[in-house]
Structure 1
Amino acid sequence: MRLLVVCLGNICRSPVAEGVLRARIAASSIAGRVELDSAGTGDWHIGEPPDRRSIANAAGHGVDIAGLRARQIQAADYRRFDWLLCADRANLRDVRARAPKDATAQTALLLDWCGIGEDCEVPDPYTGGPAQFEHVFQLLDRAADGAIARLRQELRRG
């Protein structure tokens, strides 16, 4: 199973989601069976590390995302990944609008896919403070439980 988590700039939400999911999957029975990456719809931060506040918040929870680097979603991602999981509706709309004709990946809101709630979004903490970054981490940590449950089920079927 191959998952790509997508947000706007790939410096706050999607790298935290990647880091949390990577850590939780590595500690689970599905370790080694899931490929995971993150990307942004925008190109402003290509090659940059995650936002320092995201790095610090994740590190405070034992998740190291400092080595990740921002990238923009590419046409090949639509064929390489099984799922493109978007942080919010605007990201989902952009991802769907950019899909090449030969796209095979399915698209969904990340929190919906993880079973957190229908039409739920991960809020962008970029203009906020520590409380917003902590809220995003807690939301994504909770989503990781649902993601692992779903992945176990899909891998069993697969």
Structure 2
Amino acid sequence: MNNILTICVGNICRSPVAEALLKDRLPGRKVWSAGLHAVVGHGAEATAREIAEQYGLDLSAHRAQQVAGWMCSHADLVLVMETSHQQELQKLYPLARGKIRRLGEFGPQGAFEIADPYRQPRAAFEAAHAAIAQGVDEWVRRINLVS
């Protein structure tokens, strides 16, 4: 699993955080992010960026991009935030179906969704960051077992 793609809707809140956490915890792997309906060219949302900085992550260089078929083909693993994202990607790119998984697929109490904090209060961004970190921790553990 050397190429990991993270996906959310706008590619400005959740997937950039997941990308940064995965890059930090899986050095030497190619990790990037995109959006199903990306706000192309925009940086990470300010609150997401501030919270990430509190955890030592720098999202300042991030620029949103739209997901494309080549990205799903190139990725060994595609991690999405919600079941609806998984379903949409599987319809758009059926050949990538087996590698499109939810970031919250393996929670301590079962699978979980990572809610979109966009245009929500800071608490929603903090909850999303915590959920993303939990999902990343579990995927990193699993990836390290097979790599």
TM-score, normalized by the shorter chain, greater than 0.5: yes
Q: Are the aligned partners of 2:90 and 2:96 in contact in 1 as well (CA < 8 Å)? A: no
1:7-156 pair list within 5 angstroms: 7-25=8-26, 31-32=27-28, 34-43=29-38, 45-99=39-93, 102-103=95-96, 106-112=99-105, 115-116=106-107, 118-155=110-147
Using the TM superposition, give the Cα deviation of residue 19 of structure 1 relative to its aligned residue in structure 2, in angstroms: 1.1
- The Cα offsets for residues 82-108 of structure 1, whole Å up to 9 and x where unpaired, read as 1111100111111111005x5476111
Q: Are the aligned partners of 2:104 and 2:112 in contact in 1 as well (CA < 8 Å)? A: yes
Q: How many Å separate the matches in 2 of 1:152 and 1:20?
A: 15
Runs of 4+ in 1 over 3 A off after TM superposition: 102-105
User: 1:105 and 1:71, CA in 2 relative to 1: closer, same or farther beyond 3 A?
Assistant: farther
Unaligned runs of 5+ in 2: none
Amino acid at match of 2:129: F
Q: How many Å separate the matches in 2 of 1:103 and 1:125?
A: 27
Using the TM superposition, give the Cα deviation of residue 119 of structure 1 relative to its aligned residue in structure 2, in angstroms: 3.7
Amino acid at match of 2:84: A
Q: How many Å separate the matches in 2 of 1:146 and 1:19?
A: 15
TM-score (norm 2): 0.90
- The Cα offsets for residues 47-102 of structure 1, whole Å up to 9 and x where unpaired, read as 111111111111122111111110111010121001111100111111111005x5
TM-score (norm 1): 0.84
Unaligned runs of 5+ in 1: 26-30
Instruction: Give the fraction of aligned pairs with identical amino acids, expressed as a percent.
Output: 28
> How many residues in Structure 1 have an aligned counterpart in Structure 2?
145
SS of the residue 2:7 aligns to: strand
Amino acid at match of 2:70: A
